[in-house]
Structure 1
Amino acid sequence: MTERSHLSSPRLSGNLRRQPKQQRGKARVERILDAAAAIFDEMGYEAATTHHIAARAGTAIGSLYQFFPDKASIFKAMELRHTERVKAFWDKVDVPRMVQLPLRVMMHTLLIAAIELFEQPVSRVVFIQFYMTRDIFQSIDDSMTQDAINFLATLLEGRNPALPKNQCQLLAEVCVHSSNAVILAALRTHDLKHRQRLLQQNEDLLVSYLEPHLGKNTSKDVMNVMICPHCQSSQLSKNGYRRGKQCYLCKTCGKQFVQPSAQ
């Protein structure tokens, strides 16, 4: 889903005071939302003002008010944009294929896709603020977390049908809550090396926790189960080696990635 499609979303359109018709107006709304993400990230929601946001967006305060009546409406638009991105994230996951992956590959794929989602400026701020200043939210609540738990529980049940549903639900709940805590810490640090260490430890933690219940389920032919962590496509080609690991090129999105270890 492109940024432009978010502007044409009925939910986001309904949140705007005036719907931009020209490309210039659409671009201005995008700049305002991105600027708001940066300001909320730096100053916090309470200290931020519409004047701060307009200045960061490089637009007059009057132009901002043409689209948004106040700071709360800007944040609500950010919520709705994030919600659309999360929906697109879930829609593109191929569940039947995902459950066939080796456990580490499955968790690596899910976590990489989630991190790419949350690293987008608006989604990053919405995710952080949900745990820091929850009372400012108008659209997002705990149901989004519950959706993630239910989704992971479905994957776990598909991987091991012998596990009772209530156990799958409990395992998924622990994974989602603990993973969110680590991702939150990773997103808040400005030390990129430390962020990568946290994210790797997050993957190791989840794999170690789930392995006794699911097994490694390692396939002998990785190409038969490998999928692109960026777009979930299985249309891949081998693309040399990097630091002793097989590299792949996705024929669908054109991105490269390194095969995660199936420990």
Structure 2
Amino acid sequence: MTNDSYLSTNKSTDGLRRQPRQKRGKDRVEKILEAAAAVFDEVGYEAATTHQIAAKAGTAVGSLYQFFPDKASIFNTMELRHTERVKAMWAQTDVEAIVSLPLRQMIDLLVKAISQLFENPVSRVMFIQFYTNRQVFQSIDESMTQEAINFLADILQHRNPLLNDLQLSLISEVCVHSSNAVILSALRNSDLQRRQMLAQEIEDLLVAYLEPYVGDTVGNKLHDVMKVMICPHCYSKQVSKNGLRRGKQCYLCKDCRKQFVT
């Protein structure tokens, strides 16, 4: 019986041939994934081999095969690890707490979360490969970009309820795609340049672009507008109170019949 007899023999749903149950096995899997990230970054997916990955991880190729049947399964597991980290980053963002902050402070918190995400070598390589070698992906597609757009649109809607759905979609799409372009450039640079671009350039870009829509002065004007109760969807003044939601007053527009919260 080998040292890895504690592994499950059931087929994994995340690219793994066997799921490690003990810490030693889990650590070995993570080491293989980080080694694969380094190899894919150095030579590209097509040129990479499982022998190179095993050597980089400091393990025998036979040990690698106990967890992964081939290179594609390693890549697929990296995809899912990255997806898990992105979802966790979104879930940990307290939208109601950050929307009341000054614009630059709000963007700073979001950008720091993104920067921390890309400190992980697997996430860095997944992002670069998605824009340079998309055909090898099995799990990640454009839906993740759309989820990011929807996530930002929700934040902007909370910050300025007067923005309609089309405005929210277009503004968020510009923010996400422009940020992704900077991130891609940053991840291809040295550590120092990468951190500078992720920490400052994206923040400056987003603050400058978003200021007219959700800036601090816009927030003050919005507060004054909401006092006279204008529907943020059709701009009608024919609104009435419609109960409370999470302690906030809800309103119903008599013209377009849509609800909104102040």
TM range (shorter): 0.7 to 0.9
SS in 1 for 2:216: coil
Q: Output the CA distance in 2 between the equivalents of 1:28 and 1:12.
A: 16
| Per-residue deviation, 1:199 | 4.2
Report the secondary structure of 1:15's partner residue: coil
Partner of 1:85: 85
* Structure-2 residue corresponding to 1:181: 181
With over 3 angstroms needed to count, the CA separation of the structure-2 counterparts of 1:106 and 1:11, relative to structure 1, is: farther
Distance 2:86 2:11 in 1: 14
The one-letter amino acid of 1:66's match is Q
Secondary structure in 1 aligned to 2:161? coil
**C-alpha separation between the residues in 2 aligned to 1:41 and 1:104?**
33
Q: State the one-letter code of the partner of 2:47.
A: A
Go from structure 1 to structure 2 and tell me whether the alpha carbon gap of 1:182 and 1:60 turns closer, same or farther (over 3 Å shift).
Answer: same
- Alpha-carbon distance in 2 for matches of 1:175, 1:21: 41
CA distance in 1: counterparts of 2:37 and 2:194, whole angstroms: 23
Deviations 1:211-252 (A, max 9, x none): 011122599xxxxxxxxxxxxxxxxxxxxxxxxxxxxxxxxx
* In structure 1, distance between residues paired with 2:200 and 2:164: 29
Within-5 A mapping of 1:183-262 = 183-190=183-190, 192-193=192-193, 195-197=195-197, 199-216=199-216
Maintained 8 Å contact 2:187/2:194: no
Distance in 1 (CA, whole Å) between partners of 2:159 and 2:103 is: 9
CA–CA separation in structure 1 for the residues paired with 2:82 and 2:192: 23
Deviation at 1:12, TM superposition (A): 6.3
Q: Which has the larger radius of gyration?
A: 2
Deviation for aligned residue 1:23 = 2.3
Instruction: Say if 1:118 and 1:17 are closer, same or farther in 2 by CA, change over 3 A.
Output: same
Q: Verify the 8 A CA contact 1:102 1:217 in the aligned structure 2.
A: no
Q: Which amino acid aligns with 2:127?
A: F
In 1: Cα distance, 2:99 partner to 2:11 partner: 33
Aligned residues of 1:130 and 1:137 also touching (Cα < 8 A) = yes
CA contact (8 A) 2:111 2:198 kept: no
- Runs of 4+ with >4 A deviation: 10-14
Matching residue of 1:4: none
**Aligned residues of 2:153 and 2:172 also touching (Cα < 8 A):** yes
Report the Cα distance in structure 1 between the residues aligned to 2:141 and 2:70, rounded to whole angstroms. Answer: 21
TM-superposition CA deviations, 1:162-188 (whole Å, max 9, x none): 111110110000000000100111111
Q: Are the aligned partners of 1:153 and 1:172 in contact in 2 as well (CA < 8 Å)? A: yes
Unaligned runs of 5+ in 1: 1-7, 220-263
Cross-structure match for 1:106: 106
CA distance in 2, matches of 1:124, 1:163: 33
Structure 1 length as normaliser, TM-score?
Answer: 0.75
Listed as ranges, the matches of 1:1-263 within 5 Å are 14-190=14-190, 192-193=192-193, 195-197=195-197, 199-216=199-216
Question: Number of aligned pairs?
Answer: 212
CA–CA separation in structure 2 for the residues paired with 1:152 and 1:136: 28
Note if contact 2:50-2:61 (Cα within 8 Å) is conserved in structure 1. yes
Which is further off, 143-152 or 19-28?
19-28
Counterpart CA distance in 2 for 1:11 and 1:83 is 20
Give aligned-pair identity as a percent.
Answer: 66
Contact 1:103 1:218 in 2 (8 A): no
CA distance change for structure 1 residues 44 and 90 in 2, over 3 Å: closer, same or farther?
same
